[in-house]
Amino acid sequence: MTGGIAAYKAIEVVRTLAYLGAEVRVIMTPSAQKFVGTQTFTAVSGNPVATEMFSGGPEVPHVELARGASLAVVAPATANTLAKLATGAADDLLTATLLMTRCPLVLAPAMHREMWEHEATAANVATLRERGAVIVGPESGPLLSGDHGAGRLVEPSELIEAALEALGRAQDLSGMRVIVTAGGTQEPIDPVRFIGNRSSGLMGFAVASAAAARGAKVTLVVGATATAPPLGIDVLEAKTAEDMLASVRQLAPDADVIVKAAAVADFRPAHPHEAKLKKASGPPELELVPTTDILEELGKAAGVRKPGSILVGFAAEIEADPKKLGELAVAKRAAKGADLVVANDVGSTDSGFEVRTNRAVIASADGVQDAGLVSKGALADALLNEVVRLLQRSQR
Ligand SMILES: Cc1cc2nc3c(=O)[nH]c(=O)nc-3n(C[C@H](O)[C@H](O)[C@H](O)COP(=O)(O)O)c2cc1C
């Protein structure tokens, strides 16, 4: 926090981040302490507020704070601090910490309109943006001393959203090769008919986008989907279970992470007809045979995957109760030899196929995490957090 009149609004930001489960460490500049007291922020964050660069003890606060951070948010960010960050100054605990850290940086400027519009501030903001900082706001509205214009701190909710997005963009999958399968398969009956399912591909697309945003090199193996895959991601088409198996087998030896979000048919017609079946010939008899269980092959067969890679399976279940969903996820994880299994409820109108939200649990060797009813993007990030945790463990 820096010394702006909007400093009081940071209480809400700190409170919300702490509520969301973040470990929040507040750093205040000397000017910030003229506007709000440290005691409030100690109470709201649950941690002492850091103000001193020179602790007098053996610890070096700016090093400890910088190395421990996953995300830095400056709210409010004064014109002065923006200038210091742009030039690399490090003359107080806040700027020294921010020069030291490599985590994503979110800046929420707040100041008088004249200060915001000054060429110096504009140039500093442009420099910071170019270096990858996320600038949120300012908003237009009433300002100090009866003024009006651009310069108000954004609302805490908007800042939290930007902070969460920036966290998702942490490059914790940088350099990793990730395969994501998405969509449903179509098993031919004849040249025009198939056995398919209602998978839209949205969950796999969300995982692929989130992994790419976190720095991974992603290949999407895509079956039948309701919409086009996200732009900028390599795509391999695989319409049948057999095609999907072949694509995954080809890619798996180089993959650090495989996420099997596709709904692959369990059975296919044994003998697809070469010619179109005629209605006049009456209802055909279809003999079905099992397809290869791709997840199980990846989980159990030797030499298919890169050693130390992480395998994630999905289970589509008609089950809204998180406890029972958890039991199903644990059972599937054990049966298939996957590292993680996400069991999602496909029996409700707000979850599963064709909708943007999902009710899901994630099973790992450490237990079951209930993700609740969330957007598919949020579920993708929760899943990738688990993947990163397991990758870090397997690399130790
Ligand atoms: C009442 C008052 C309100 C201020 N509000 C702001 C503000 O909203 N934005 C800003 O950039 N500076 C504002 N300032 C000026 C800063 O406090 C000043 O530039 C200070 O050096 C900032 O230090 P810091 O960036 O290290 O926190 C204000 C000053 C006063 C006296």
Q: What is the overall mean pLDDT for the chain? A: 92
User: Which residues does 330 contact at the CB level (< 8 Å), separation at least 6?
Assistant: 341, 363, 368
pLDDT at residue 88 tops 90: yes
State the span(s) of the chain assigned CATH 3.40.50.1950.
5-168
Q: Which residue lies with its CA nearest to atom 3 of ligand 1?
A: 5
What pLDDT does 395 receive?
Answer: 72
pLDDT at residue 195 tops 90: yes
What pLDDT does 354 receive?
Answer: 76
Catalytic residue among 47, 80, 124, 197: 197
The answer to whether the beta carbons of residues 94 and 81 sit under 8 Å apart is: yes
End-to-end CA distance of the chain: 36
Q: What is 177-395's CATH number?
A: 3.40.50.10300
Q: Which residue lies with its CA nearest to atom 9 of ligand 1?
A: 111
Judge whether 197 counts as a catalytic residue: yes
Mean pLDDT value across residues 379-390 = 93
- Distance, CA 29 to ligand 1 centroid (Å)? 10
- Distance, CA 4 to ligand 1 centroid (Å)? 4
As for ligand 1, residues whose beta carbon falls within 6 Å of it are 2-6, 29, 31-32, 78-81, 110-111, 115, 144
The answer to whether the beta carbons of residues 340 and 312 sit under 8 Å apart is: yes
pTM of the entire predicted model: 0.60
Top CATH class, 5-168: alpha beta
Mean pLDDT value across residues 109-136 = 91
What pLDDT does 334 receive?
Answer: 96
Helix and strand totals (H; E) in the chain: 14, 17
Alpha-carbon distance of 72 to 90, in angstroms, equals: 15
What pLDDT does 264 receive?
Answer: 97
What pLDDT does 356 receive?
Answer: 77
pLDDT at residue 100 tops 90: yes
Of the listed ranges 15-24, 298-307, 317-326, the one predicted with least confidence: 15-24
**Tokens found for residue 117:** 């519009």
Residue 151 CA, closest ligand 1 atom number: 8
State the span(s) of the chain assigned CATH 3.40.50.10300.
177-395
- Distance, CA 27 to ligand 1 centroid (Å)? 16
